[in-house]
Amino acid sequence: MSSATTESQPGPRARVAVITGGARRIGRTVAERLHALGFDIALHYRSAHVQAQELQQQLNAQRAGSCAIFAADFARLESVAAFCQAVLAAYGRIDLLVNNASGFEATPIAVASPEQFDSMLASNLRGPYFLIQGMLPGLASGSSIVNILDTHVHRPLRDFNAYCAAKAGMESLTRSLAVELGPDIRVNGVAPGAILWPEGDDAYDEAARERTIAATPLQRMGCPEDIARTVAFLACDAPFISGQVIAVDGGRSLTF
């Protein structure tokens, strides 16, 4: 996939939120939450075409023309550029960019390949970096960026070293850009803890899941709505917050 494609046209001007990886899991819940708050949604997906179409139909049934979907592979810089061009052509001004799309793969240091390392860096750091760069012409005064990070930046996940390193870079970038893009654009991060288990059992078998919950002060998992509410808070109700990363982890980061 070397270019971005879009389906349907946006409706009348409203606040616009661009959500990457928005067709499934946490991204989908963030899209639904922001849409309920009145945002029009520019929904990015890479391969989840069916799920993206379903969500688009759901949101447009609630408010006609309020969601358009865009396909792009952020591992390819030409696709990032095409995505930015398509979104800005459709909307002009962007009020909120939510960097949610992410790759997640084990890369044990003894056997990891350069290709695996580059893949984690591309999906979790390089792609979002150049996406922000490409969106700058549309991010006018008062807009904001929320990056979805990971509490494993500070609690390393065994064998996921490249993923954690890339997310750590994204956390650093969040703070750097808050300085560089202020005062016009606020930049913050949300770091989920145990919200949804990764698909497959590469990182979390049943015993690991039980240990994680037992070590969490709230003694339970969170839910995607917890992340969506925090993103909405940072976007809509936190005009004097920038350069911060909020851990949404039930207190797990306190029990290192």
Q: Please compute Rg for the chain using Cα positions.
A: 18
CA atoms within 13 A of residue 12's CA, in its CB half-sphere = 2
Q: Strands 5-7 and 67-71, how do they pair? A: antiparallel
Q: Is 163 a catalytic residue?
A: yes
Active-site option among 45, 91, 129, 163:
163
Provide long-range contacts, Cβ within 8 A and 24+ apart, for 213-221. 215/252, 215/255, 216/249, 216/250, 216/251, 216/252, 216/255, 217/250, 217/251, 217/252, 217/254, 217/255, 218/250, 218/251, 219/250, 220/250, 221/194, 221/195, 221/250
Q: What does DSSP assign to residue 142?
A: T
Reference 75, options 168, 137, 188, 166; nearest CA is 166
What is the side-by-side order of every strand in the sheet holding 245-248? 5-7, 67-71, 40-45, 16-19, 96-99, 144-148, 186-192, 245-248
Q: Which positions are catalytic?
A: 163
